[in-house]
Chains A and B, each alone.
Chain A
Amino acid sequence: MARFQSILFEREVGADTRPDEPAYFADLNLDQVVAALTAGREQYDLEPFFYSPLRDVATVCYRHEVLRDLERPGLLEAVRAFAGAMAKVRQHLTAAEEGYYPLAKQGWFLKGAGIYCDAVESLAGALAAAGVSSRGFQGLRAYLAEYAASDRFAGLAAETKALERALAAIRYTVRIQGAKVTVGTYEGEPDYGTEVEATFARFRQGAVRSYLVRLPERGGMDHVEAQIAERVARLHPDVFRALAGFCARRRGFVDATIARFDREVQFYVAYLELVDRLRAAGLPFCYPRVSVRSKEVAAEETFDLALASKLVSEGREVVTNDFRLGGRERIFVVTGPNNGGKTTFARTFGQLHHLAGLGLLVPGTRARLFLADRIFTHFEREESVETLRGKLEDELVRVHAILEQASADSVIVMNESFSSTTLQDALFVGSEVMRRLLDLGCLGVYVTFVDELASLSEATVSMVAQIVPENPAERTFKLLRQPADGLAYAWAIADKYGLTYERLVERIGA
C-alpha cells in the first residue's frame, strides 16, 4: 500500500499554480457559499480546493468515501477536536517563539507539546475505534499507528507528561504588603473567602448577582509575574532545569504529513457543517452518481445552496425542485412569472455540477451528474452599456466568447439573456444561440421569457415556474416539466377578480 500523503487525493498530483476564483462563481452565487464555508477558517487557506473541480471519477469516489466515513457518528467530532487542538498547538508555539520572558516561553512550548501529543493520540485512537472504510482514512490510520509508536513521538509524549505533572504539583504563596512581595511555599493555610461566607451565611436570601470581576487569563506574564515565577523556580530548581533542557531538544516536533491532513480535512469539515445545518432544517443531501460520459443528468428535491443557506438562517422555508434530462435531452428552457424561481433553478443546475466535480455531497435526495470540462454562465449584467443596442451587442459578445470556448462536455447556464430587447429580436437571437448550443451538444439551462424557445428541438426540455391559481400574487417557487404557457398566470389573476369568461357570464345579467 502506498504511504499515506493526502486526504484529498489518493495519488499525488503535480504542484499546480494557485487557481483563481472561477468566472462563473459570482453568477451562481458560489462565491457566497465558499465565503461562508471558509469564514473562520482563514488559517487553512481552503479556497484553492473549492475552486478546483475534478474531471476524474476515481478521485471523486476517493472523496465520497472520505465523506461517508466522516458522516458516521464519532469520526467528525474526533476530527473537529483534532483541528481545535492543532490550532492551539500553533498558537502556543507562536507564543513560545515570540514571548519575552524565558520561563513564559518554556511554559508555552511545553503546553503546545502536551496538546500535540494528546491530539495525535486521540485521533489515532478514534480512527482505530471508528472502523473507517475509506482509502483516505485507512491510509491515515496506518500512518498514525506507525507514527504514534515511533521513538520520536513516544519519547516526546513521555517527557511532556512528566514535566507537566511536576509543574502542576507546585503550590506557592504570594504575600503582598505594599510594594513588598514575598514568594513562599503553600502550607495549607485556610481559605479566607469561605470563612467570610460562613459569617454572613444567615443573611442569605434568594439568588443575587455575582460581583466576580471577570479577569480573563492573559496570554502571558508581566514583569511582576515573571519575577514571582523566577522565585518559584528557585524554590524548585530540579523541575525547572529539566524544563529548559526539554525546550532546547524538542524544537520542530510537529509532523509534516499530520499538519497537511489538518489543513486538507477542513475542506470536508467545512462543507459537512453547512450540510448539517441545512439537514437540520429538513433539507436533503446526497452523493451524486458522476460520469464523464453520460449526459443523462437528474436530481430530485434539489435546491440552491446559497439561497437555502440564507433562508434557513432567517428561519424561512426552502422550496425544492426536480430535474431530469434523458436520452438526447440536453437543455432546460425555463419560463414562467417573474420571481417564480427561474433564476434559482438555473443557479441550482450550475452549482450542482460544480459541487459534483469537487467530490462533495449535493443538494437533493438523489442525483446523477456530469463531470463537465468547463462551466459557463451568462447572466444579465446591470452595469454594462446604456443603449438597448449597445446592451444587446455586449451580451452577444459575451455569448460568442462562451460558444468559442465551450465544448460538448461543458455546462452552460444562460439567464434572461436578450430580455432587454424586443420580442422579435429576442426570438431571433435566442433561436440562433439555442441552435448553436444544440449543435454543440453541451448541457445547459436557458432562462427566457420567449416561450417559443422551449419547443425548438427534442433536445430541449420545457420547465415552467408555477403559481397558486387562487392567489396569483403568491409564488410556489416550484418548476414543473410542462409545455411553456404564459396564459396560466393571466387566467388565474382574471379569476381572482371574477373576470374569466364563465364568471363574467354568471355575473352579467344577475
Chain B
Amino acid sequence: MKVFLLHRDRDFDVKPELRDPIFEAMVNGSPFALASARRNLEREGKAGSLGSDEDLARDLELETVWSAMAAGDEFLYETAKRALLSSLHDPEAIRYRQHALADCLGNATVVREIYELALDALESQRKAGGTPWAGARPDMILHRSVQVLRLQVDALRRLRRIADEQAAGFRSDAFRRFFAMLREELADGYLAEVGQQLNELEFRRGVLLSAEFGSGLAGRGYVVRKPRKRRWSERLSPGRRSPSYSFTIPPRDENGFRALEEIRGRGINVVANAVAQSADHVQSFFAMLRLELAFYLGCLNLHELLAEKGEPTCFPTPLPAGGLALGAKGIYDVSLALHLGHRVVGNDLDADGKALVMITGANQGGKSTLLRGLGLAQLMMQAGMFVGARSFRAAVCNGVFTHYKREEDVTMTGGKLDEELRRMSEIADRITPRSLLLCNESFASTNEREGSEIARQVVRAMLEKQIRVFFVTHMYELAHGFHAQGLESALFLRAERRPDGRRTFKLLEGEPLPTSYGPDSFRRIFGAGADAGAASVGRRSRPGRLRHRSSG
C-alpha cells in the first residue's frame, strides 16, 4: 500500500540535505515528533538551517512563498520548503504532479477531507495510550499495538468509503491509482480477516512456546506456536499423544510468576514486534498520505492568495534538460506579488537557445525582480506547481544556484571579495552541467576591472560547462565585453528608464550602455572642472577610485 501522490513510483523524495530530524518527524507521523524535533534543533542552534540552500532561499525570497503555502501551519511550511528545494528533473514527473494538483484544485473539499482523516488516523497511537516506552515488556507492546491497529483499521475503512464515493471526480493518474489501490487492498474480506487476527492476538487461551537448550541448560529460542487442531482420532484416544509433565506456580510465588512472565515474553517478543511494526507501517502510510497531501494543500493556499490579488497563474510546460528552451509571458516575481498590495508588472521573455542572459540598466528598473521571478518560476515548475506568469515554458535544469551581492559587512572572515569568491567557490563545488546560475551584481565588491575580469572568467567557464547563466550587472566592462563577442547564445536585456527618469519595470532587449549615473555622480562630487581629467582616466572606473587618484 503506497500513497505515491507526488511521484509515480516512490514516496515523497526529498533531497538528502533536507532529510533532517524535522523531516524524519514528518515521515514518522507522530503529532508530537515535529515539535520536539524542532525544539531539539533549536537547542542546537540548527533550526531552520537549509545547509547549502541557504543562499538560494534568501536570494529568491523563498520564505515568502513557503509562508503563503503554509497559511500558518508549520507542517505545511516544512513540506512546502522541502518540495520546492527538491526539484524534479524529468518533464514527465513534473506533469504527473501538475495533473494531480489540477485534480486538487478541482476537488479541494474532498482533498481536505482526506487530509483530516489522515490526521485523525495518526492520533491512533496517542488514543491507545502512546507508543510503548523503552523497556516495556513484550506483552505490553503487544496489547498496545493491537489497540492501535483496531483504531487504524477503522480509519482505513473510512478511507475506502471515500474512495468508493469520490473516485469518479478525479482524472489524474496519481489519484486514480491511489483510489484504485484502496479499493483493491482494503476489500471487505481482508478487513474482516484482520479483525479476526487482532482477536486471536489477545491469547485468551494461553500461549504455546517451543524451545531448546541454551547455555547452562536454560531454555532459549522461544517461539510462539499455533496449536494444532487435534484430530478426531487423537481426541478419542488420548493415550497416543506423547507424554507431557505439568506443574503449577503457587499463588504466593511472586518470583515464579515473574520468571514465567519472562519466558512468555521471550516467546511473544517476536509476535509483539510483528504487530507493533504493522501498526507502525499503517502509521507510516497515513503519515505519508498526510505529508504528500500537505504539499497540495500548500499549493491550494498559495493559489487562493494569488487569485485574490488577481495575479495570473499557469501550469508551465516543462521541456527536456539541455535544450535551452525558455519563454514566458507576463512572468512576475511571486514573492514580490505576495508582499505588495497591488499587482506587479509582468515581463515577456523569449530566450530560447540563449545560454547567457545578461541584464543591465537602471537601478530599481526591475532587473532583480525579473531574475527572482525566473528563478522562482523554474523552482516552482520543477516542484510540479503552477508558476507566476500567463505562460511559461522552460527546459528543466539540474539545479538552481544564486550568487548575489551581499550587503552586510563580513570582515570577520576576510574582505567582501574574499567572501564572494568563497561563495562562488562553494557553488563551483556543487554545480553541475545543465544547471541554472543566477548572478546578481556578483563581484561588485571590488573595482570594476577586477570584478569584470573575475566575472568574465567565471561566466566563460560556466557556459563552457553548459550551465545557463542569468547575470544582472552594473559592470559595463563585463556586459559590453560579452556583447562585443556577438555570441549567438547570449541575450542582453536592459531595464528601461524613460527620458523623464520614470521607470517602467519592463526589460527589453538592448545592448549594455555605459553606466548612466557614474558621470553624474562624478561631476557632483568633483565639480564640472574635473571632467576632462575623468575622460582621460576612463569611464570604466568607479567614482571612489577617481577621487583617490585626483587627491594623490
Please name the residue on chain A nearest to B217 by beta carbon: A107
- Tell me the nearest residue of chain B to A199, going by C-beta: B197
Type the 1/0 row for B183-197, where 1 means its CB is closer than 8 Å to any CB of A.
001000010011001
When distances are taken between beta carbons in the complex, the residues of chain A under 8 Å from B2 are 205
Residues of A within 8 A of B197 (CB): 196, 199-200
B residues less than 8 Å from A107 (CB atoms)? 213, 215-218
Q: Are A229 and B217 in contact (CB under 8 A)?
A: yes
Q: Which of A19-27, A174-182, A301-309 contacts B (4 or more CB under 8 A)?
A: A174-182
Q: Scoring B residues 247 to 261 as 1 if CB is less than 8 Å from chain A, else 0, what string do you get?
A: 111110001110110
Contact B218 A220 (CB under 8 A): yes
Task: From known contacts A203-B278, A212-B273, infer whether A174 and B248 are also in contact, taking CB-CB under 8 Å.
Answer: no
Inter-chain contact B245/A170, CB cutoff 8 Å: no
Q: Which of A106, A210, A215, A218 contacts B265 (CB 8 A)?
A: A215
CB A221 to nearest CB in B, in angstroms, measures: 4
| CA of A170 to CA of B213, assembled, Å | 7
Residues of B close to A200: CB separation below 8 A: 194, 197, 274-275, 278, 281
Min CB gap B37→A, angstroms: 15
Please judge, given known A-B contacts A172-B211, A225-B259, whether A181 and B288 are in contact too, CB under 8 Å.
no
A199 and B193 contact, CB distance less than 8 A: yes
Separation of A232 and B220 alpha carbons in the complex (Å):
13
Judge whether B108 is part of the interface by a CB distance below 8 angstroms. Answer: no
Complex contacts, A108 vs chain B, CB 8 Å = 215-216
B256 touches A196 (CB 8 A): no
User: Does B502 sit within 8 A of A, measured CB to CB?
Assistant: no
- Shortest C-beta distance, A416 to chain B (Å), equals 42
Contact code string A100-121 (vs B, CB < 8 Å = 1, else 0): 0001111110010000000000
Q: For residue A205, give the distance in angstroms from its CB to the closest CB of chain B.
A: 4
- Interface size on A, as a range, is 35 or more
Task: Pick from B141, B211, B227: contact of A213, CB below 8 A.
Answer: B141
Q: Find out whether the CB atom of B218 lies under 8 angstroms from the CB atom of A179.
A: no
Nearest CB in chain B: distance from A95 CB, A: 7
Any chain A CB within 8 A of the CB of B551?
A: no
CB < 8 Å neighbour of B11 from A174, A206, A222, A228: A206
The CB with the most chain B CB atoms within 10 A, among A105, A202, A219, is that of A202
Give A196 Cβ to nearest chain B Cβ, in Å. Answer: 5
- Give per-residue flags for A167-205: 1 if the beta carbon is below 8 A from chain B beta carbons, else 0: 110111111111111111111011111011101101111
The reply to whether B212 and A168 contact each other, CB–CB distance below 8 Å, is yes
CB distance A176 to B245 under 8 Å? no
User: Is the pair B216, A176 in contact by a Cβ cutoff of 8 Å?
Assistant: no
- Give 1 or 0 for each of B267-294: 1 = CB within 8 Å of chain A CB: 0011111111110111011001000000
Q: Which of B199-220 contact A (CB under 8 A)?
A: 201, 205-220
Contact A221 B216 (CB under 8 A): yes
Please determine whether B217 and A208 come into contact, CB atoms closer than 8 angstroms.
Answer: no
Contact of A99 among B209, B216, B273, B276 (CB under 8 A): B216
A111:B260 contact, CB within 8 angstroms? no
- Classify the secondary structure of A's interface with B: mixed
- Is A3 close to B, CB under 8 A? no
Residues of A within 8 A of B243 (CB): 184-185, 235
The one of B216, B244, B282 in contact with A219, judged by C-beta atoms closer than 8 angstroms, is: B216
On whether the beta carbons of A183 and B225 are closer than 8 Å, the reply is: no
Inter-chain contact B228/A225, CB cutoff 8 Å = no
Q: Tell me if B550 is interfacial: C-beta within 8 Å of chain A.
A: no
Would B205 and A183 count as touching, CB distance under 8 A?
no
Per-residue CB contact flags for chain B residues 1-20 toward chain A (1 = under 8 Å, else 0) read 11000000001000000000
Does B413 belong to the interface (CB within 8 Å)? no
Interchain CB contact under 8 A, A191 and B215: no
Question: Smallest CB-CB separation from B259: which chain A residue?
Answer: A224
Q: Is A41 an interface residue (CB 8 A)?
A: no
Nearest CB of chain B from residue A216's CB, rounded to whole Å: 11
Contact of B247 with A231 in the complex, beta carbons under 8 Å: yes
Residue in B217, B219, B227, B260 whose CB lies within 8 Å of A189: B227
Within 162-192 of B, Cβ neighbours of A (below 8 Å) are at 185, 190
Closest to B260 in A: A224
A197/B246 in contact, CB under 8 A: no
**Residues of B contacting A224 with CB < 8 Å?**
249, 256, 259-260, 263
| CB neighbours of B245 from chain A (8 A) | 182-184, 231, 234-235
Which of B207, B214, B288 meets A217, CB within 8 Å? B214
- Contact of A203 with B285 at beta-carbon distance under 8 Å, contacts A175-B209, A190-B226, A193-B224 already known: yes
Provide the bound-state CA to CA distance between A327 and B432, in Å.
66
Q: Give the segment of B62-70, B130-138, B396-404, B423-431 that binds chain A.
A: B130-138
Chain A CB within 10 Å, residue with most, of B227, B244, B273, B274: B274
Q: Counting chain B CB atoms within 10 Å of each CB, which of A99, A200, A206, A234 scores highest?
A: A200
Interface members, chain A 221-252 (any B CB < 8 Å):
221-225, 227-229, 231-232, 234-235
Chain B, interface size category, equals: 35 or more
Do residues A176 and B264 form an inter-chain contact, with CB atoms below 8 A? Answer: yes
| A208 proximity list for chain B (CB < 8 A) | 277, 280-281, 284
Asked whether A507 is an interface residue with its Cβ less than 8 Å from the other chain, the reply is no
Interface string of A355-385 (1 = CB under 8 A from B): 0000000000000000000000000000000
Which of A111, A192, A215 is the one whose CB lies under 8 Å from B225?
A192
Tell me if B119 is interfacial: C-beta within 8 Å of chain A. no
Given A173-B210, A206-B11, A211 and B257 touching (CB < 8 A)?
no
Contact of B274 among A173, A174, A179, A193 (CB under 8 A): A193
Chain A CB count within 10 A is highest, among B194, B201, B273, for B273
In the bound assembly, the distance between CA atoms of A171 and B221 in angstroms comes to: 10
- Is B223's beta carbon under 8 Å from chain A? yes
Answer whether A181 and B211 are a contact pair too, CB < 8 Å, given A203-B285, A225-B263.
no
Q: Which residues of A contact B264 (CB under 8 A)?
A: 176
A203 CB contacts on chain B under 8 angstroms: 1, 278, 281-282, 285
Pairwise interchain contact A104-B218, C-beta atoms closer than 8 A: yes
Whether a CB of chain A sits under 8 angstroms from the CB of B160 is no
Asked whether, in the complex, the Cβ of B218 is within 8 Å of the Cβ of A181, the reply is no
| Chain B, Cβ-Cβ closest to A232 | B213
A18 in the interface, Cβ–Cβ < 8 Å?
Answer: no
Q: Is B242 an interface residue (CB 8 A)?
A: yes
**CA gap between A234 and B210 in the complex, in Å:** 17
User: B206 contacts which of A177, A205, A213, A231 (Cβ < 8 Å)?
Assistant: A177
User: Is B262 on the interface with A (CB-CB < 8 A)?
Assistant: yes
Q: Is the CB of B285 within 8 A of A195?
A: no
- Shortest Cβ gap from B455 to chain A (Å): 35
Q: Are B277's CB and A193's CB within 8 A?
A: no
Residue among B193, B263, B288 with the most chain A CB within 10 A? B263
Q: Which residues of A contact B224 (CB under 8 A)?
A: 191-193
Complex alpha-carbon distance, A186 and B210, angstroms: 6
Q: Which residues of A contact B434 (CB under 8 A)?
A: none
The answer to whether B207 and A175 touch across the interface, beta carbons within 8 angstroms, is yes
A213 adjacent to B136 (CB under 8 Å): yes
Which of B218, B247, B269, B273 is the one whose CB lies under 8 Å from A218? Answer: B218
A191/B244 in contact, CB under 8 A: no
Answer yes or no: A209 CB below 8 A from chain B CBs: yes
Residues of A within 8 A of B185 (CB): 202
A184 and B225 alpha carbons, distance in the complex (Å)? 13
Q: Mark B133-159, 1 if CB is under 8 A from A, else 0.
A: 001111001000100000000000000
* Cross-chain contact B266 with A211 (CB below 8 angstroms): no
Chain B residues with Cβ below 8 Å from A220 are 216, 218
Contacts A/B (CB < 8 Å), 22 sampled: A107-B213, A108-B215, A172-B210, A173-B225, A176-B206, A178-B206, A180-B247, A183-B244, A185-B243, A197-B278, A199-B194, A203-B282, A203-B285, A208-B281, A213-B136, A213-B265, A215-B262, A217-B214, A217-B218, A218-B218, A221-B219, A225-B259
Given A184-B244, A192-B224, A225-B263, 19 more pairs with CB closer than 8 A: A111-B215, A173-B211, A177-B206, A179-B249, A180-B247, A184-B242, A190-B226, A196-B275, A196-B278, A199-B193, A199-B197, A200-B281, A204-B281, A206-B11, A211-B132, A211-B141, A211-B273, A223-B256, A224-B259
Ordered nearest first, which 10 A-B pairs have the shortest CB separation? A107-B217, A177-B206, A184-B244, A200-B278, A189-B225, A211-B276, A205-B284, A224-B259, A208-B280, A231-B245
